[in-house]
Amino acid sequence: MHDTAKPVHLRWQYLLLVFAGGTAGTALREAVGLLTPSGGFPLTTMGINVTGAFLLGALLEALVRRGPDAGRRRGTRVLLGTGVLGGFTTYSALATDTSLLFADGNVGAALLYAGGTLVLGALATWLGIAASAARHRRGTSRAGGVA
């Protein structure tokens, strides 16, 4: 079977991009965590996840407005979206931190953290999409209607 006939997630080139991006994103998350310890409430993890949601929304909107998910756009999506931002954000830490807050008897904090992260993440994604769309519109209007 020719490599381009395989699904994207089975092509070694894209797997390497995800690996490289994931390594960078995970290292960045760890650096942010070390530079901004959050104490008893996991604000750092919440901030990382909400920031990642915004950036992913902005990235995917920018890519889709530039054309089909192929070639360099696909490579960019896989490297930066799946790789870097997938490594930067962390659902497992969200789940673990929520469980620890519950285990410590901080039910209100656990619910606020889990629910707040989900709501703020969804809002951040929408804002990232809106910001990227607005930037695209400004660029299109300056270029005389050509994207």
Please write the tens of the pLDDT for every residue from 4-40: 678 877 889 999 999 999 999 999 999 999 999 878 8
2 within domain boundaries:
no
For the entire predicted model, the pTM comes to 0.88
**Residue 17 CA: distances (Å) to CA of 37, 53, 78, 83:** 30, 20, 6, 7
Compute the average pLDDT of residues 61-77: 94
How many domains does the chain divide into? 1
What is the model's pLDDT at position 140? 78
34 within domain boundaries:
no
Structural domain boundaries enclosing 103: 13-23+44-142
Does the annotation place 82 within a ligand binding site? no
35 within domain boundaries:
no
Does the annotation place 89 within a ligand binding site? yes
116 within domain boundaries:
yes
